[in-house]
């Protein structure tokens, strides 16, 4: 049985969003203990189960209605949404609200010696990225042709390794770029973490729990502003 009376929330298992996601839920009064070996953490005081997965899996789990809620970076959400639209797969979800963590930007960067003027300087060149859809959308808007170099990791070393001329990667401080002899030339997307809900129909009890949780989240986030 995959349907459950308990509210299912997908959060990142381990990474930049996992601690803050857990902290947010705890400050909303959801009690749970995470066992690092386990996929699921059950709350003991509310009918809520936390599903701890790779962040990339979260938008799809919500869009397919496997889980009810998810906490995810807007960058990953938007990338998956475009990907699914091109594949004609379900891509709908409700963004309940932006959260106050996970700030980063998706930027173009090139080697320090690259004579960069504007994004047009990348015409015909190869760009390494883990976000091919967000990059394509930006470059199409600008009318620039470029070549893809799809990498799930180590994007920042691609130019030095001779795999690409530039990169399109997540940046928060810029220290990683600098350490790899790159500089940021263009911000193509600004992102924060957000909480999303499945568009699949919920029971009244589950929707009431979602409403209660969201109102607590609003309180917690506003109190910090
Ligand atoms: P997973 O193993 O879950 O796939 P990951 O390596 O893809 O993890 P993280 O590096 O943990 O992901 O980043 C998760 C999210 O954190 C990013 O998608 C982004 O929304 C946010 N984030 C905030 N700052 C940064 C940053 N400096 N670099 C990368 N991601 C950042
Ligand atoms: Zn990931």
pLDDT, mean of each 10-residue run, the chain (225 residues): 82 97 98 95 97 98 98 98 97 98 97 96 98 98 97 96 98 93 97 98 95 97 88
Architecture of domain 7-101+193-224: 3-Layer(aba) Sandwich (3.40)
Spatial separation of the C-alpha atoms in residues 209 and 213, rounded to whole Å: 6
E-strand ranges in 22-164 read 40-42, 48-53, 69-73, 94-98, 104-111, 126-129, 147-150
The whole-model pTM stands at 0.96
- Predicted interface score ipTM higher than 0.95: yes
Instruction: Evaluate: CB of 16 within 6 angstroms of ligand 1.
Output: yes
Instruction: Evaluate: CB of 130 within 6 angstroms of ligand 1.
Output: no
Smallest CA separation from ligand 1 atom 30, residue: 170
Nearest ligand atom owner, CA of 73? 1
Q: What top-level class would CATH report for the domain 104-191?
A: alpha beta
Every domain range in the chain assigned CATH 3.40.190.10: 7-101+193-224, 104-191
The number of angstroms, rounded, from the C-alpha of 174 to the middle of its chain's C-alpha atoms is: 19
Could you identify the atom of ligand 1 that is nearest to the CA of residue 76?
18
Radius of gyration from C-alpha coordinates of the chain? 19
């Amino acid at each position: 049985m995959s349907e459950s009376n308990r509210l299912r929330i997908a959060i990142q298992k381990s990474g930049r969003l996992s601690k803050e996601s857990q902290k947010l839920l705890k400050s909303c009064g959801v009690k749970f203990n995470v066992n690092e070996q386990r996929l699921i953490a059950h709350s003991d005081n509310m009918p809520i189960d936390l599903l701890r997965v790779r962040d990339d899996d979260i938008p799809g789990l919500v869009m397919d209605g496997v889980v009810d809620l998810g906490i995810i970076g807007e960058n990953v959400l938007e990338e998956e949404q475009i990907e699914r639209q091109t594949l004609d797969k379900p891509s709908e979800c409700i963004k309940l609200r932006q959260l106050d963590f996970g700030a980063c930007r998706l930027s173009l960067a090139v080697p320090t010696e690259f004579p960069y003027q504007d994004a047009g300087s990348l015409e015909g060149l190869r760009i390494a990225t883990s976000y091919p859809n967000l990059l394509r959308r930006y470059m199409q808007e600008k009318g620039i042709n470029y070549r893809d170099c799809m990498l799930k990791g180590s994007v920042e070393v691609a130019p030095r390794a001779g795999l690409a001329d530039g990169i399109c990667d997540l940046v928060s401080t810029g220290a990683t770029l600098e350490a790899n002899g790159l500089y940021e030339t263009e911000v193509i997307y600004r992102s924060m973490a957000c909480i999303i809900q499945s568009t699949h129909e919920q029971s009244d009890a589950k929707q009431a729990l979602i409403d209660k949780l969201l109102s607590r989240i609003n309180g917690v986030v506003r109190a910090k502003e």
